[in-house]
Structures are given as C-alpha cells and as structure tokens.
Chains A and B, each alone.
Chain A
Amino acid sequence: MAFSFSTSKDKPAIAALLTAEFAVKAGKSVKIELGNSTSLVVDKNTSFSLNHSICRFLARSFPDLGIQGNTAVEKTEVDHWLLFAQGRLSCANDFTSAVVYLDTVLGPITYLVGHCVTIADFAVWECLHSNSAWQKLYTSGEAPVNVKRYYKYLCEQPVFSSIMKKTPNVEVKGGGGKDK
C-alpha cells in the first residue's frame, strides 16, 4: 500500500519525517512532501496528524523494518521512550534531569531499544536536535558524554543527515528549553 505523508516545511514533524525517510530508503512506498501541515493519509477515511502517531503507524505497517522493536518487551520499551520524549525531555523544567537519566541509560548501548535503530531513537533525537539548550550543551562540549556520542553517531547516519539537510537549522541561543 502507498501512503502519502506531508509535513510542514517550517515546523516539520521530524520523528515522523525520519520514519518516512527510513521506510523509503528501505524500499517502501511512501510519498513524502514538504508543505504547510502534517498528515499521513492512509485512505479516504483515515488519516493521522500527530508526529508520534505517524511514527507508530508506519512502524506497524512495515513490521519487517524492525523500527517498532521486535518483541512485546521491546515494543513497550519503545513506547516508554516515546512518552519520555514527549514528556520529560520536552519540558524545560525537567530537561536537565532527563538528559542525565538518558546519559545513564545510554552508557553501555548504541540504540535505545534492541540492536537497531527504532522510532524511539527518531523521537529522542528530534527532541535533542530541535532543543536550543541541547545544541548549546553540544556545541560548547559540555554535554554528558554518552548522550553526546549517541547524538553524534545518529547525526552521521544517512537517514538523519539527509533530514538535517532538508529541515531548518536550530538557532543556538542562551538557556531555556524547547519552544512551546
């Protein structure tokens, strides 16, 4: 089945865009368009407009990609990280402690869940990438070592670097969290 995914050029749903791009690079049929708003059209009666819903929908539609996790535990770990990304990591007051927690978990691992990239990585990378407080930590060299390694490693992967070229750069300014 071919899906049509469209996202806003100025404020893209980055995790959804990464998921769609990943699917396309793996040979799946998803039409990607940069336009005015975000939606994934399934058929004439069904569409999704939320960033993480689109990630989940595409991951479930293409289970052979493994980006939703492979077992019940892995899938639920992915859910844990999606909730973490939209909750603690996106909240300016919790940001510092959320990054410390992330650093502890990432110590011994490359990807958040299992041994391959999942939509959990897409969602958490988006939060870091679009957060000026994180960019400030990262460019000044003060970021916790494991999160820094994780973020840098993902930035170098083809899907992430292609999205970085397509989307607006994040301004690095002092203090504060993600704009609400």
Chain B
Amino acid sequence: MRRLLLILRDPGAAAGMLWLGLLIAAALAAPWISPHDPLKVDLLGVLQPPSATHWLGTDDLGRDVLSRLLHGAAPSLFSSIGAVALGMLIGLPFGLIAGYLGGWVDAAISRGIDALLSFPTILLAVGIAAVLGTSLTNAVIAIGIAFSPGFARLARARTLAVKQELYVDAARAAGAGAWWLLTRHVLPNAVTPVIVQAGLLLGTALLAEASLSFLGLGVQPPQASWGGMLARALLYLERAPDLMIAPGVALLLTALAFNSLGETARRWLDPR
C-alpha cells in the first residue's frame, strides 16, 4: 500500500491513472453523457467548427465529433485489453510447455515462435483480419494471435530459469507430477515478467487496433472508433484538417497513459 502511494506521487503515473479512470467512466457512460446521437447524420451541418451545440464540431456527414469520440472510447479500451489478454492466454501455455518439457517439443515450439516473430505484428494482424473478415472481434483475435509468440518466448525463458530452482527439484523429489509442478511452482514464479510485458503491450495494442480500424479492417462504419474517425479525417485533410485533432489526441493520451501504467506495474512487480 505504501509502495502504491509512492507510485501515485509520480506525476506521470498519477496523470495516466486519472486519464484512464476518466476514459473508462466516459466509455461506460457514453450513451448517457453524449450530447448527440453519434450516428445521426445532418447533411445541412457538415464540417462545422466547434460551437455551443457541437463542442468539437461536426464531421463530413454532420455527425457530432464529441459524441463519436465518447462512443469510440469503449472499442479502443476494451479491445486493447482483450487483445493483450488473448495473446497471453495463447502464448503462456506454449512457453511453459516448451520450457518445461525441453527436447524436441521445445525445439518445435521454439522454431514456431521464431517463424511467427518474423512477421511484424501489424502485418500478421492485417493478414489474419483480412481472412477472418472485418469486425472488431476479429481485429482483437488477429492482434492477440500476433502478440502470442512474444509472450510464449518470454514464458519459455522464465520457465527454463525457474526449472533450475531447488524448490522445483525438491517438489519433484517429493513425488509431484508434471501438472502439479507446472501449475503450483513454475507458473506462479514465471508469470510476473509476463504480466509486466502485458502491461507494456497495452499501448501497442491500442495503436494496433486503431491502425486496423483506420485501414477499414477493424470497427466497421458507421460505428464510431478513433481509428475510423482518423480515416474519415484523411479523406477531408484539405477541407477540414481539424477533424484529425480530437481522435489523434485521444489516442496519444491513452497510449501515454497505458505506457505509464505499464511502466508503473513493471517497477512495482519487478523491482530490478
């Protein structure tokens, strides 16, 4: 608890937590606090500058930018968390098994990890999203799969180190089976750096989801998403350059907050 207070004294971490807290509240309350319907088209009031009725102006179809920004918060936030969790769920077991069993199983899984790591994250995600079909769920699955080899490699390295520890030998000598050893001894001691890694990847996942939605491979219009808003802004770059400001700043601040949160988790869990 005292350590938590010390961390909160770090202005960066405190600001990050505050922003994320506000954002989660805004994401959950979006249907009630949005000043307008985010899908309501008003062709007589397109590309309006900020005003008393439209605080952040309107987009190319006359939709309220602030309302779309608020409704875009939920897909961004929850898909980043979902993608990282999925990557961990897929990668962790493979890493544990490879590190624990060794031999040809390890060789096979390790080569598989190497091969998947040859694919840049976003490249793999685009390929998977293209085949699965374009939707937010599929984008989350695609990013999760693309993250999994990194998690597997980390879990494998940790498992190899933990396996050497005396207490694992002792448990094995006492007659513990492989499943017991893995779940009771190896996993709890190998999982910390994996969780730290997960925290540090949240920002990457956020930008990856925004990228896919920007490219038209994530959240489908007319549903609001920050990446999708930037895609519309790109079409109107000459006529209405202001359209890109709000979603871009929202993405930047959220990525900063995620990264500072991840960094805080790292310092907390992994004091090295």
A and B held together in a complex: no
Give chain B's interface residues, CB within 8 Å of chain A.
none
Give chain A's interface residues, CB within 8 Å of chain B.
none
